[in-house]
Amino acid sequence: MRVRWVTGFLDTPSRVAEPFWQAVTGSRLSARRGPGGEFATLVPAGGDAYLRVQVVGDGPARAHLDLHVEDVAAQAGRAVGLGAAVVLDDGELVVLRSPAGLLFCLVPWQGEAVRPAGGRSLVDQMCLDVPVGGFDAEADFWAALTGWPRRAGSLPEFDFLLRPDGMPLRLLLQRVGGTAAGMHLDLACTDRAAEVAWHRELGAEVVGGYERWTTLRDPAGRAYCITDRPL
């Protein structure tokens, strides 16, 4: 599969966190779409959009990926052959579930190609949190699905997929305990302490501090991380 673009979706039972993510990303909210106005795009100051918000009917607040491809039906069939299961096919997009249970969508590519630049920080990574027992199978699935090579991370609990130049989100895979897989967004920044302080002023809550990253929850309770990675 040739993934032409990647979008990170923030799925939330309400709109409570939308002003927070607008501030964090320096973006504006597009006109709302969908029967109930549940969808909107975080439009960057420059480049093509790669972050969207969705009001969902259930909780908790979470995240998912859209992979933009040229032939949705063909690539959905390929994803199923690799071990994914179709959840919904509406004729334009296909919602699937990975072998570990992660929801993602295949959507039509609309010509997106220009990665937005960062300022003091940049949302540039989706972390796939995968229970240890199914980690290798899940990592191999995503590597095969995207065609991005799998590489060992700088710490033993992480692997990552080597994204093509210009792709807005890197995919990191983290070995976690428990039985449920999930996703969360990560930010790179120039000054982690200052960035964390700013996010707290905007309404985020710190839940854990580590040598290279800080874990927070946004106003909707969704976990994300601020990291020391360069922009």
pLDDT of residue 173: 98
Q: What mean pLDDT do residues 53-82 have?
A: 97
Q: Express each pLDDT in 81-136 by its tens digit.
A: 999 999 999 999 999 999 999 999 999 999 999 999 999 999 999 999 999 999 99
Confidence of residue 150 (pLDDT cuts 50, 70, 90): very high
Provide the pLDDT for residue 114. 98
Angle at 134 between CA 164 and CA 175, to 5 degrees: 65
- Same topology, domains 5-108 and 121-227? Answer is yes
Q: State phi, psi for 228 to the nearest 5 degrees.
A: -85, 5
**Residue 1: its pLDDT value, please?**
79
- Kind and range of the H or E element at 20? helix 18-25
Q: What is the CATH code of the structural domain delimited by 121-227?
A: 3.10.180.10
pLDDT score recorded for residue 100: 98
Tokens of 112: 């997106």
Q: What mean pLDDT do residues 200-213 have?
A: 97
How many angstroms separate the CA atoms of 145 and 3, rounded? 9
pLDDT (mean) for 57-80: 97
Tens of pLDDT, residues 31-51: 999 999 999 999 999 999 999
Residue at 224: amino acid letter? Y
User: How confident is the model over 13-30, as a mean pLDDT?
Assistant: 98
- Mean pLDDT across the chain: 97
Looking only at the bridges linking them, the beta strands covering 121-131 and 170-176 are parallel
Per-residue pLDDT band at 231 (split at 50, 70, 90) = confident
The answer to whether the pTM exceeds 0.95 is yes
Give pLDDT, residue 41.
98
The CATH T-level fold of domain 5-108 is 2,3-Dihydroxybiphenyl 1,2-Dioxygenase; domain 1 (3.10.180)
Note the pLDDT of residue 37.
96
> Which residue carries 């959507």 as its tokens?
107
Domain spans in the chain, listed from the N-terminal domain onward: 5-108, 121-227
- Predicted pLDDT at 55: 98
Tell me how far apart the alpha carbons of residues 145 and 142 are, in angstroms, rounded to a whole number. Answer: 5
Report d(CA 9, CA 185) in Å as an integer. 9
- pLDDT for the residue 63: 98
Euclidean distance between CA atoms 226 and 231, whole angstroms: 12
